[in-house]
Amino acid sequence: MADYLFLIPLLPLIGFLINGLLIGRLPKPVISLVGCLSVGGALLLALLAFFELKGLPVEARVMQQVLFAWIPSGSFHVDIAFLLDPLSAVMILVVTGVGFLIHVYSVGYMHHDEGYGRYFAYLNLFTFSMLMLVLANNFLLMFVGWEGVGLCSYLLIGFWFEKKSASDAGKKAFIVNRIGDFGFLLGMFIIFWQVGSLDFATVMEKAPTAFSFGGGLITAACLLLFVGAIGKSAQIPLFVWLPDAMEGPTPVSALIHAATMVTAGVYMVVRSNVLYMMAPDALLVVAIIGAATALFAATIGLVQNDIKRVLAYSTVSQLGYMFLACGVAAFSAGIFHLMTHAFFKALLFLGAGSVIHAMSGEQDIRKMGGLRKYIRITYLTFLLATLAIAGIPGMSGFFSKDEILWQAFSSGHGSPIFWAIGLVTALLTTFYMFRLVYLTFHGTERMDTETKHHLHESPRSMTVPLMILGVLSVVGGWVGLPAVFGATNYFEHWLDPVTAKGSELVSESVHASGGGNAGLEMTLMFVTVLLVIGAWMLARYMYVRHTETATRVREKAGGLYTVLLNKYYIDEIYGFLIVRPFVGLSTFFWKIIDVLVIDGFVNGLARLGALSSDLLRFVQTGRVRSYATLFAAGVVLVIGFLILR
């Protein structure tokens, strides 16, 4: 069994090789076919693997495939090997499923672009790297995928590299991520140092004995790994790259910067849940950073005017939600939200792409309005996704968000404060999402006549993925119905084999608290829903009914509004505190240390070499007699040395 696992990442890799090596030589239909089919094939195999895994008894739901020893170096041994367990099964389904839809969508969206072949090559390379990341059976191979997706992210953000803002955004994403990767590497070093292996199974098996519970080393290792997650998943303080990443093509934003890559940090934390359970302090940090990011980004999202930037801040905020779940040891809730978020956020981005497509490239929502009449399918699917992210009962987002809120409140690692922050974030989310919907699709038509003339619904290749994702945004949550409804939470039990070991460590248990308070859980849920609907109505009041209120509020809160609009001036602060001193230091190293000291030394050495070369050349006269003299001198020296020593 499982001997086809390697094909899942291999297919997109082949797609990448075909599209990448034959760049500029293939006609567009072939490129699309190769690009989509390779990911489609991977999706089919992922489904096959999923059902095979599901057919196994719960305890036996692990498949490993070792391809070959990658680094067999003494005690350091790393394999190229894949691990399929309930967690990675969910991930590969999300990656290939959403990935496939976005590939199809891209066929329509990128149709007129000159870099069509390059685009699909990158996209396939990304899918390959992401699958390596989630299928790896050890930290190092995961890191390979981790770096691979980072590279693809860089390439795709800067896809339109002739635009300076795009290439700058690419660089920013890459550099900020390097900070996180550095942490990831250090964390990995600590793990290898203490456990002697990087293999997930071995590390999770030996960690409880290799580390002391709550000790400094395990806390350091977890925090360092989390630094990696902060970079990749755009949390405070490294979130600054994600909003700028919207310079890339919109399907890329949907795939990489919403549905898959940015969730890699969450995946990694859940994958290492045993380690985190052993370091309660680290877990608390995860929860605090997650909650803070969720709230912080949501407040910025309130006032942004670029359709993609609103969604970008929303993504940062929702990722914070997932980390909040992880931080309160509700790992399955985190992954559940990761999955539903992948559906509705991908849909939101693709919908935004469809809007931008219709608006001839316009992204400013102040210049839109009333679009629902022109692009019906986009509007309806966008609305579905908005209902989902807002957490309207019955929609996917409701179940996952509610799960997180309840766990934040009730878990052994939770606290009412986390719940309160989560709730406020949920209300802010509802508000800014409906603000976006109303400003874009409702109200007065504010575009110029030229744009209005061109308004059209997108082609079938774009709307079909929208509709499929629309369905998923609704039903995607039904696999995780809350136990309090008397239903079975399939999703939580599905991940049990992965999280069980970690929860055994803390036996005073997180689980026990949940069941007894069914009444409380229902009450909190009810309150949340009521408030969310209230936030929705407020948005409706301000942006549909009495549009002048919005202006009034803006004027009243002048200072705060400006701060929010400028994203708390974080970029400027980083520029002042970090970038500027760094540039100064670099200039010093460049002009003084490098040019004068190092180059001087190196060039001096080279000059010395050249000089001695020129001197020695005098020995090489070209005359045999001088050669023989040298030879004879050598003989005398050798014999003399041997005899006289």
Measured CA to CA, the distance from residue 599 to residue 63 in angstroms comes to: 54
- In whole angstroms, how far apart are CA 487 and each of 265, 483, 492, 525, 634? 30, 5, 12, 16, 95
Query: Closest approach of Cβ 440 to another protein, in Å?
Result: 53
**Closest separation between CB of residue 3 and another protein, Å?**
26
Residue 51: other Cβ atoms inside 10 A = 10
| Angle in degrees, CA 123, 360, 442, rounded to 5 | 105
The structure tokens listed for 60 are 């036996």
**CB-nearer residue toward another protein: 595 or 633:** 633
Residues 6+ apart with CB under 8 A from 501: 204, 273, 274
Instruction: Provide the residue count of the chain.
Output: 645
Least separation in angstroms between CB 636 and another protein: 10
Of 78 and 423, the one with the shorter C-beta distance to another protein is 78
For residue 394, which phi and psi values (nearest 5 degrees)?
95, -30
Q: At its nearest, how many Å lie between another protein and the CB of residue 620?
A: 6
Q: How far apart are the first and last CA of the chain?
A: 72
CA distances from 287 to 272, 364, 499, 591 (A): 15, 34, 17, 44
By beta-carbon proximity to another protein, the closer residue of 67 and 605 is 605
Which of 566, 629 has the CB closer to another protein? 629
Residue number, 450 or 614, with CB nearest to another protein: 614
Question: Minimum distance between the CB of residue 635 and another protein, rounded to whole angstroms?
Answer: 5
Q: How far is the CB of 249 from another protein (least distance, A)?
A: 33
81 has which bridge partners? 66
Kindly tell me which of 488 and 620 has the beta carbon lying closer to another protein.
620
Amino acid letter at 345? K
- Amino acid residing at 158: G
Report d(CA 423, CA 565) in Å as an integer: 23
Question: Taking the complex as a whole, how short is the minimal distance between the CB of residue 125 and another protein, in angstroms?
Answer: 23
CB of 637: closest distance to another protein in angstroms? 8
Specify the amino acid at residue 133: L
CB nearer another protein, residue 596 or residue 606: 606
E strand or H helix at 387 = helix 376-390
Nearer to another protein, 73 or 449 (CB): 73
Q: Report in angstroms how near the CB of residue 350 gets to another protein at its nearest.
A: 43
For residue 631, the one-letter residue type is F
Of the pair 48, 606, the CB lying nearest another protein is at: 606
Binding site for another protein (CB under 8 A): 606, 609-610, 612-614, 616-617, 619-620, 622, 624, 626-628, 630-631, 633-635, 638-639, 641-643, 645
Would you say 384 and 340 are in contact if contact means Cβ atoms under 8 Å apart? no
